[in-house]
Structure 1
Amino acid sequence: MKILLLEDDLILSAELTRFLSESGFEVKTTFNGEQFLTELKPNLYDLYLLDINVPKINGLEVCEKIRAIEVHTPIIMISAFGDLSDKKEAFSRLADDYLVKPFQFEELLMRINSLVRRYRPADKAADDEFSVEDLRINKTEQKVYRGTQEIALTPKEFQLLVFLAEAQGRTVSKQQITEHVWEHNFNTNTNTVEVYINFLRKKIDKDFPLKLIHTRSGYGYFLSPAP
């Protein structure tokens, strides 16, 4: 998933980019409002992250310009201005959330994930079937196929595959997998995640020329036709 970031503090921009990249997002950085608007392309990004006090065109004006061409893509404002009037102004420009600096990156990640889930198109959110190339996953029937061949999975293997599919090609970390699939019910220092990834690979990929389950070394795993 792609984020377009507007932040003129070079150190904070680099730290945010590194953190969000390690969390599985693809981040494009910009340092002033004019540069941001040059990079802005409707429906290319999944979320906009805007500082307010930036050169040339400030984040509030940028937010307003985004909303003139895009209604649904989430916008989070990040600012050292923490007064209620500042927040009210941002929300009047149709921002979706407002985070006051300094903030914990984990809180930002929680807000991003919440907004992305909320603004997922309704037809996708309600869709119980995922397809990646010739792989089909039916959540309602809990069945998996590659081509015409049905693949038998255990309940936990099925949960893991669905979680990878719902990430839509984004890399998910071992920590994220344990939170969503195992809910911290085992020691995350064990190799349980790797074991189950290997189980899935043997069933989903082994007998097929196109491999779909990939490792991003040091970051996690993703489901995609392209490594």
Structure 2
Amino acid sequence: MQTILIVEDEKRVADLLKIGLEENGYQAVVAYDGLMGLRLFRSGTYHLVISDIILPKMDGFELCKEIRKCNEHVPILMLTALGSADDKLEGFDAGADDYMVKPFDFRELNARVRVLLKRSAERVATTPGHISYADISVNLDMREVQRAGVTIKLSPKEYNLLVYMMENAEKVITRVEIAENVWNTHFDTGTNFIDVYINYLRKKVDKDFDRKLIHTKPGVGFIFSDKI
């Protein structure tokens, strides 16, 4: 049975999540503040974390960062009333995999949980140790990135975006494809968080190198290539 850690200080919402997840075959454990959530995570084995952002003692962003220090792969779903693009960007930059805004439909949340757990299991089962393209290489086990022998430090979401683009090198990928495969969510045309992260990645991967790898295809999306 897969175990999910819920970090939610509003008891009504926490109870709703726990009951709903257990009815769908998961084991659910609840923490009512960020520090309690971190203690529980460190002392147990969890397949997924659902966390609010506004929490007593430690907010959800800090909790997410601390969890990522312990485990870089466990899926984290942010569930919060903070729904601005800046809030989403901060959540993704802290290491979150997906983001849902309250009030939420439990059926949608359950569907996202299934997708996150499935992709996590597939990644563990099928990911090779390394991936490389041109002069850039990624050690997938250590999550280390180098270009021309220079180590590049990336945030968790920048890293996932780079790996996805490298896995689809020479192919134009749309914002919708990036949203679904990197953020596990539907692309909201009213936000620009994907373009923001593309720019973050460009500054780290391309800025100090003569040969550019990340290119924009206006009106279509992006392509990772050393042939343009």
TM-score by length of 2: 0.53
Any gaps of 5 or more consecutive residues in structure 1?
127-227
The amino acid across from 1:115 in the alignment is L
Deviations 1:30-66 (CA, angstroms, capped at 9, x unpaired) = 0001111111137710000000001000011000000
| Alpha-carbon distance in structure 2 between the residues aligned to 1:15 and 1:69 | 28
Q: Does 1:54 align with 2:50?
A: no
The total of aligned residue pairs comes to 126
- Structure 2 SS opposite 1:82: coil
| Alpha-carbon distance in structure 1 between the residues aligned to 2:10 and 2:44 | 26
Please report how far the alpha carbon of residue 125 of structure 1 lies from its aligned counterpart in structure 2 after TM superposition. Answer: 5.9
Please report how far the alpha carbon of residue 123 of structure 1 lies from its aligned counterpart in structure 2 after TM superposition. Answer: 6.0
Task: Determine the structure 1 residue equivalent to 2:24.
Answer: 23
| Alpha-carbon distance in structure 2 between the residues aligned to 1:115 and 1:103 | 17
Task: Determine the structure 1 residue equivalent to 2:192.
Answer: none
Alignment of 1:200-215 (within 5 A): none
Task: Determine the structure 2 residue equivalent to 1:7.
Answer: 8
Task: Determine the structure 1 residue equivalent to 2:156.
Answer: none
Partners of 1:43 and 1:73 within 8 A in 2:
no
- Structure 2 SS opposite 1:64: helix
| Alpha-carbon distance in structure 2 between the residues aligned to 1:37 and 1:68 | 11
| Alpha-carbon distance in structure 1 between the residues aligned to 2:110 and 2:37 | 21
Partners of 1:64 and 1:94 within 8 A in 2:
yes
- Structure 1 SS opposite 2:64: helix
Task: Determine the structure 2 residue equivalent to 1:76.
Answer: 77
Query: Post-superposition, which runs of at least 4 consecutive aligned residues in structure 1 deviate over 4 A?
Result: none
Provide the aligned C-alpha RMSD in A. Answer: 1.7
Please report how far the alpha carbon of residue 7 of structure 1 lies from its aligned counterpart in structure 2 after TM superposition. Answer: 0.2
The amino acid across from 2:64 in the alignment is C
Task: Determine the structure 1 residue equivalent to 2:64.
Answer: 63
Deviations 1:1-47 (CA, angstroms, capped at 9, x unpaired) = 00011000001111110000000000000000111111113771000
| Alpha-carbon distance in structure 2 between the residues aligned to 1:121 and 1:64 | 23
Distance 1:72 1:101, change over 3 A: same
| Alpha-carbon distance in structure 2 between the residues aligned to 1:97 and 1:121 | 17
Partners of 1:42 and 1:69 within 8 A in 2:
no
Partners of 2:4 and 2:47 within 8 A in 1:
yes
| Alpha-carbon distance in structure 2 between the residues aligned to 1:91 and 1:97 | 8
Partners of 2:42 and 2:70 within 8 A in 1:
no
Deviations 1:182-211 (CA, angstroms, capped at 9, x unpaired) = xxxxxxxxxxxxxxxxxxxxxxxxxxxxxx
Any gaps of 5 or more consecutive residues in structure 2?
128-228
Distance 1:34 1:42, change over 3 A: closer
Distance 1:123 1:8, change over 3 A: closer
Identical-residue share of aligned pairs (%): 36
| Alpha-carbon distance in structure 1 between the residues aligned to 2:123 and 2:4 | 21
Partners of 1:3 and 1:27 within 8 A in 2:
yes
Alignment of 1:1-227 (within 5 A): 1-41=2-42, 44-122=45-123, 124=125
Deviations 1:126-162 (CA, angstroms, capped at 9, x unpaired) = 9xxxxxxxxxxxxxxxxxxxxxxxxxxxxxxxxxxxx
Distance 1:42 1:35, change over 3 A: closer
Task: Determine the structure 2 residue equivalent to 1:168.
Answer: none
The amino acid across from 1:40 in the alignment is F
Distance 1:122 1:84, change over 3 A: closer
